[in-house]
Amino acid sequence: MKRIFIAVKIGVGDKLSRMISSMKSEFSSEGIKWTANDNIHITLAFLGDTEENKIKNIISMLNALCKTIVKFELTLRGTGVFKNINDPRILWTGIDTSERLLDLNRIIIGGLRESGHGIEERPFSPHLTLGRIKYFRDKEALKKFLDNYKDMVFQKVAVDEVILYESILLPKGPVYKPLARIALN
């Protein structure tokens, strides 16, 4: 069994990198497990534990579907938290609404369902996870920080492939190992 997911890898540009560094510095005493910059991605589908003999079929399905999808661009904008400011769990950077990204997600989810693969059932909420919060004491400072960046455009991102990753959970944090890179048309 391999724990797998399908994602778009995001290369962190200078402006986003500076904001993340500033956030890490300002909130160094808070209980945050930061995402390594080279692990930052947009999850399109999380399949979880998957039998290895099914992975080739998933790759074939992705190859067929991705031929129908034209490359596109995204804009990374703003910061925020999931659950809410009073009980923050995830620090994120947002993505401007993109019909192309929503279509990519719908097509991949549809292909997975059609081919009988179990997937995590939750609404698609495109974002980049910057950190997972265990505890956060100074919520007023967090709110102020997020407000400073809430509308900032960090960078444009070319989406020209999807990646099937294996997620290997280690005590120091997850390692994401690419199993297949599938180019868009």
Q: Which residues are catalytic?
A: 41, 127
Q: Which residue type occupies 87?
A: D
Instruction: Output the CA–CA distances (angstroms, integers) from residue 71 to 20, 77, 120, in the order listed.
Output: 27, 20, 25
* CA-CA-CA-CA dihedral for 167, 146, 76, 176, to nearest 10: -10
Instruction: Output the CA–CA distances (angstroms, integers) from residue 170 to 78, 135, 151, 174, 175, in the order listed.
Output: 30, 21, 35, 5, 7
